[in-house]
Amino acid sequence: MGRVNDKVALITGGASGIGLSAATLLAKEGAKVVIGDFNEEGAKEAAASIKRDGGEASGLFLDAAKEESIKEAVDFTVQQYGTLNVLYNNVGLTNLQKDLDVVNMDLEEWDRLMNVNLKSVLLGSRYAIPYMKKDGGGSIINTASMAGFAGDSIRSAYGASKAGVVNLTRYIAVQYGKDHIRCNAVAPGLILTPAAKNNMPEEVLGIFEKFNALPYHGEPEDIGNAVLFLASDESKFMTGQTLQIEGGHYIGNPTMSDFNAFMQQQQ
Ligand SMILES: NC(=O)c1ccc[n+]([C@@H]2O[C@H](COP(=O)([O-])OP(=O)(O)OC[C@H]3O[C@@H](n4cnc5c(N)ncnc54)[C@H](O)[C@@H]3O)[C@@H](O)[C@H]2O)c1
Q: Residues 168-225: pLDDT tens digits?
A: 999 999 999 999 999 999 999 999 999 888 888 999 999 999 999 999 999 999 999 9
Whether pLDDT at 34 is above 90? yes
Which of 10, 11, 12, 16 maximizes ligand 1 atoms within 8 Å of its Cβ, making it the mutation to test the pocket? Answer: 16
Q: Rounded to an integer, what distance in angstroms lies between the CA atom of residue 140 and that of residue 173?
A: 9
Span 77-108, pLDDT tens digits:
999 999 999 999 999 999 999 999 999 999 99
Catalytic site residue from 81, 127, 158, 176: 158
145/159 Cα distance (integer angstroms): 8
Confidence of residue 154 (pLDDT cuts 50, 70, 90): very high
Please name each of the domains of the chain with its CATH number. Answer: 8-266 (3.40.50.720)
Please give the pLDDT value at position 133: 98
Average pLDDT, the chain: 97
Res 258: pLDDT? 86
Q: How far apart are CA 112 and CA 93, in angstroms?
A: 9
Q: How far is it, in rounded angstroms, from Cα 259 to Cα 185?
A: 34
Residue 43: band (very low, low, confident or very high) from pLDDT cuts 50, 70, 90: very high
Q: In angstroms, what is the span from residue 220 Cα to ligand 1's centroid? A: 11
Q: In ligand 1, which atom is closest to the CA atom of 42?
A: 39
Helix and strand totals (H; E) in the chain: 10, 7
Q: What are phi and psi of 36, to 5 degrees?
A: -105, 130
Q: Mind listing the pLDDT tens digit for each residue in 227-257?
A: 999 999 999 999 999 999 999 999 999 888 8
10 contacts 84 by C-beta, under 8 angstroms:
yes
**C-beta of 228 in contact with ligand 1 (< 6 A):** no
- Would you state the pLDDT for residue 230? 99
Q: What is the mean pLDDT of residues 119-135?
A: 98
- How many whole angstroms separate alpha carbon 226 and alpha carbon 37? 21
Mean pLDDT for 50-68 is 98
Q: Which mutation among 38, 94, 115 tests ligand 1's pocket best, with the greatest number of atoms within 8 A of CB?
A: 38
Active site residue 158: yes
pLDDT at 169: 99
What does the pLDDT average to over 55-64? Answer: 98
Q: Check if 65 has its Cβ closer than 6 Å to any atom of ligand 1.
A: yes
User: Which band of pLDDT confidence, cut at 50, 70 and 90, is reported for residue 267?
Assistant: confident
